[in-house]
Structure 1
């Protein structure tokens, strides 16, 4: 977790939680910033966070094998309580099968766009957003590294229409109201030749689920 000097100087010292008392959260690196913020704001000192590389976002078939390894390592370290900080994330139910086998839970919903929006709200807007390409704060920051380069658009810009020809708009689901990130998201929409829509979501269902853990 992030060390907050001011908080440490003004908060009475508390006994450090043991490994068995903590909840080991194995999460996608793309939401690490948000998990740390929620934990800090709500003093969730019971969370022990480990993040897998965010680039797995581009290769969903690799997510569950990496989670399987991380769960085994957490068991070896003595963690009794483990929580998966992923939604399904394109794994076709593989994460659910892992969770069932290990007796652990994961974030609700199909992907981060859904739980940041709020899973119920996202489902209700499914028809409206059918032809939308979503960005989060992370993807707005890392658009080139996580969209342009993996799709090869930096080398073959002619593929842009092939990948995005059926999309109508970019929807930026914003966790923090950051004008610079809004500019980046708008630039991404312009690059793709799509309309742009901004929606401030905050942390959506992510905060509620971490509190429930």
Structure 2
């Protein structure tokens, strides 16, 4: 891996670190978005380490997994940032990051940082009981929603799990007809009215460029 021009005479700075390189520790559900933003903004010095998106099914495991990834890479990078929101950890992820001296993208979950906090709050106040999809969830609806909830084996549980939901809102990062179709199919499978809101990458782009 080539060193930046301003450190070519001393590529390791004598300490084994990669000069000026940054690592983003991200949820696997954000991999496409982070890579797209890297290309869009010319962030060639930013590397990506993704943790399994399935951790969202056991959010209590996220902080330890993030800590382990930070510690495994601390000696290789001068900067590390975390592309996770709180994601159901009840504040424990923030405590871990404070101990490790690493920052994360603000927000309770990816829906909020994609939509933006004010827009997401408006969505919540507009109608109670919204079920949200992102591009990732539209693409992997069966493996991330249907199968973990056991709805593939017991479809009758749909009425139990989704009795109090009033709509499915697709927060779209891209304009992709195939994903639109998948999101509409997901709404139909859950028996919910469908709405689409185009968010783009929301706060994720600002977070990456500021951290880099």
| TM-score of the aligned structures, taking structure 2 as reference length | 0.90
1: distance between equivalents of 2:175 and 2:149?
Answer: 28
Structure 1 stretches of 4+ with a deviation exceeding 3 A read 13-18
Question: Retained in 1: the 8 A contact 2:4–2:19?
Answer: no
> Partner of 2:109 in structure 1?
111
> Partner of 2:185 in structure 1?
187
2: distance between equivalents of 1:20 and 1:80?
Answer: 7
2: distance between equivalents of 1:46 and 1:154?
Answer: 43
Q: Give unmatched runs, 5+ long, in structure 2.
A: 12-16
Shift of the alpha carbon at 1:21? Answer: 1.4
> Partner of 2:47 in structure 1?
48
Q: How does 1:44-83 map to 2 (within 5 A)?
A: 44-75=43-74, 77-83=75-81
Larger mean CA deviation between 200-209 and 116-125 belongs to 116-125
2: distance between equivalents of 1:34 and 1:202?
Answer: 10
> Partner of 1:86 in structure 2?
84
1:100 has 2:108 as partner: no
| TM-score of the aligned structures, taking structure 1 as reference length | 0.89
Shift of the alpha carbon at 1:120? Answer: 2.4
Q: How does 1:1-213 map to 2 (within 5 A)?
A: 15=5, 19-75=18-74, 77-213=75-211
Shift of the alpha carbon at 1:65? Answer: 1.1
Shift of the alpha carbon at 1:42? Answer: 0.5
Q: Deviations over 1:124-180 (max 9, x none)?
A: 332124310000000001000000000000111111111111000000000110111
Larger mean CA deviation between 133-142 and 54-63 belongs to 54-63
Question: Retained in 2: the 8 A contact 1:133–1:167?
Answer: yes
Shift of the alpha carbon at 1:95? Answer: 0.9
